[in-house]
A and B are shown apart, each in its own frame.
Chain A
């Protein structure tokens, strides 16, 4: 006969049903014995009040044992029946019953592979997130750089605008043109000078040869 450890019941009740029954059995039995001893001592005491009676303590002891033996037999039988009923109907959890605290096992019966797949997926998501986070940092860094560069360029533009304003204020609207004309002229002059220099070099050479 296999012994049912009733571990699931122990999970629910906080004690093993069989242990509970054993405790109760021992307690009841102790009371029975205790009561019998009290009965015996009371009778013996009463007998002291009858000094000429022929009843010996030994006889009383025999009586007690007889009654106790009888009681114990019935006690054991009755307790056995009670225990059976309690273990089957009261202190048990039917096979089809799942305790609420174990609901996850019914809701998420993941196999080892499924569980591993879930963990892998999470790991991958974490890596992806980290990658996105650093990409975001790089983008923001460039944004900051752009701000600085733009500020510099705008400063230059403003300087040019400032120049235009000065020309306008001083009524030399053609300043730009005359400046440009000047620059061009000086360039032209430089070219002409170069020309002349070359030509004079040629003439000097020609003179020498002749």
Chain B
């Protein structure tokens, strides 16, 4: 059976494809600009100085490759591409069961910002509901006290009346 670990992606990741594609490009370019071709173009010089021609060619090719690789590395570093590629691979993998086309920005900010605000509004609404309920409960209790207080005052007034009568 399986080892129970995270599934290995069937296809190579974007970072891998990127590297492979660039390497292939270079390979084919170097193959096209072969030494034969070079020597053929610079025939007169080749006839004069074959070893020098070879040496110049080698340097040219190696320098060209180095520059191209350096440029690619710079682009990768500046754009933080390794991280982004891996992240995108993960996001794509997680969405693999989604068949429907996903949401895309409509281009109209007012429309798009609505959904972004909804979670905050929902939070606000539930907060208001909560504090309203608490306030209503609080007021209910205070109202009870008020009614009890009125009764007590009526009671006291009655007692005083009774005393008054007793002294009549």
Residues of chain A having any CB pair with chain B under 8 Å: 7-8, 11-15, 20, 23-24, 27-28, 31-32, 34-36, 38-39, 42-43, 46-47, 50, 53, 55, 59-60, 63-64, 66-67, 70-71, 74-75, 78-79, 81-82, 85-86, 89-90, 93-100, 102, 104-110, 112, 115, 118-119, 121-122, 125-126, 128-129, 132-133, 135-136, 139-140, 142-143, 146, 149-150, 153-154, 156-157, 160, 163, 176, 179-180, 183
Number of interface residues of B (CB under 8 A): 81
User: Do B64 and A32 touch (CB < 8 A)?
Assistant: yes
On chain A, the residues within 8 Å of B38 by CB distance are 67
User: Do B60 and A183 touch (CB < 8 A)?
Assistant: no
On chain B, the residues within 8 Å of A90 by CB distance are 14, 17-18, 21, 85
Residue in A46, A63, A64, A104 whose beta carbon sits within 8 Å of that of B119 in the complex: A104
Which B residue's beta carbon lies closest to that of A122?
B125
Interface residues of B in 78-102 (CB under 8 A from A): 79, 81, 84-85, 88, 91-92, 95, 98-102
On chain A, the residues within 8 Å of B129 by CB distance are 125
User: Do A110 and B114 touch (CB < 8 A)?
Assistant: yes
CB distance from B86 to the nearest CB of A (A): 12
State A153–B145 Cα separation when bound (angstroms): 18
Residue in A82, A106, A110, A122 whose beta carbon sits within 8 Å of that of B22 in the complex: A82
User: Do A160 and B142 touch (CB < 8 A)?
Assistant: no
Residue in B52, B124, B153 whose beta carbon sits within 8 Å of that of A150 in the complex: B153
User: Do B167 and A180 touch (CB < 8 A)?
Assistant: yes
User: Do B71 and A70 touch (CB < 8 A)?
Assistant: no
B15-56: CB near A (< 8 Å → 1, else 0) gives 001100110110011001100011001111100110010001
User: Do A89 and B14 touch (CB < 8 A)?
Assistant: yes
Q: Which 3 A-B pairs have the closest CB atoms?
A: A98-B102, A108-B118, A74-B32
B131 in the interface (beta carbon within 8 A): yes
28 sample A-B contacts, Cβ–Cβ < 8 Å, listed by A number? A7-B105, A12-B84, A20-B79, A23-B75, A31-B64, A39-B60, A43-B42, A46-B45, A55-B44, A63-B41, A67-B38, A71-B33, A90-B21, A90-B85, A94-B92, A95-B102, A99-B91, A100-B91, A105-B112, A110-B118, A112-B114, A118-B125, A122-B128, A129-B131, A129-B135, A136-B139, A153-B157, A157-B159
